[in-house]
Amino acid sequence: MDRRNNTHVSDFILMGLTESEEIQLVLFIIFLIIYLVSVQGNTGMILIIHLDLQLHTPMYFFLSHLSFLDLTYSTAITPKTLQNLLTSTKHISYISCFTQMYFLIFLGTVECFLLSLMAYDRYVAICNPLHYSVVMSKRLCYSLIFGSYFIGFTNSMINVLFMSRLDFCDSNVIHHFLCDTSPILDLSCTDTRGVEITIFIFAGSTLMVSLITISVSYLSILTTVLKITSTSGKRKAFSTCASHLLGVTIFYGTTIFTYLKPRKSYTLGKDQVASVFYTIVIPMLNPLIYSLRNKEVKNALKRLMQKRLDFRQLK
């Protein structure tokens, strides 16, 4: 049977965050500024890491992929949100909706594992510095990145396939600004328990594996740092982890709040705020967190600007 006949809908309507035109205009300006800062910040981070040879290390290799994920994240969500804030027609096609959901799950899964890889990298750098270059070899880094993307692809594909089997008979109005799993499950007129269990298992296992990796890594780092006698040594060790810990806290806090809870506890206002934070705000915050608190990135930017200035003078 044709999918559209089976689901009784060919498109969805994204109701967005508010019906007030004045508030929509304010949100459009805010989200547009955030999006532009996010694109510029993440693109800049990728270029700095690529162009500066001193940043060609495992830590910045992972960070460049984090910037790529954040750039893709915001581009998959924000432009459609901005469009809906300006127009009265808020339709999104069935295919586009599920494509957006696919990227939401895919990018979120990859970012979870990427943050755990960054924690493991810090563990090796602080707890086993003499063997760091051997352990964190280029081959291992590429393998870990490939594994993260592969798991993300598999996870999102299975989740979206299960979601696409649902029937939508009564309404096509999504009370959200994006095509996320919870609001779409609310529209289904069939039993969703099997799909909910599948989503919970995949989301839960992803978060548990990554959180365990991060926790074990930082417990080992803490144990090692406490053995350091000099205050400057402790400060230097903690400073290398501070940015990552802040990014982890923000990302996992909103993700756990949004996904690891029963669908019956889904509340429109709180969940929308959490979704705005991890899909629009966090992609902007990450390059700021990892650049403003990072002397190596600042120094790399100064070197690149100096090279550009010298090149202009030669011309």
Q: What is the rounded CA–CA span in Å between residue 195 and residue 168?
A: 14
pLDDT tens, residue by residue, 169-227: 778 888 888 898 888 888 888 888 888 888 889 888 998 999 999 999 999 998 988 88
Give me the domains of the chain, ranges plus CATH numbers. 11-314 (1.20.1070.10)
Q: Are 225 and 130 in contact (CB under 8 A)?
A: no
pLDDT at 5: 42
| Dihedral (CA of 297, 299, 305, 308) sign | negative
Q: What is the rounded CA–CA span in Å between residue 73 and residue 106?
A: 10
DSSP string for residues in 168-234: --S--EESSSS--HHHHHHH-SS--HHHHHHHHHHHHHHHHHHHHHHHHHHHHHHHHHHT---HHHH
pLDDT tens, residue by residue, 19-50: 888 899 999 999 999 999 999 999 999 999 99
Q: What is the rounded CA–CA span in Å between residue 217 and residue 31?
A: 35
Q: Are 115 and 217 in contact (CB under 8 A)?
A: no
Q: Are 15 and 173 in contact (CB under 8 A)?
A: yes
pLDDT at 21: 85
pLDDT of 153 > 90? The answer is yes
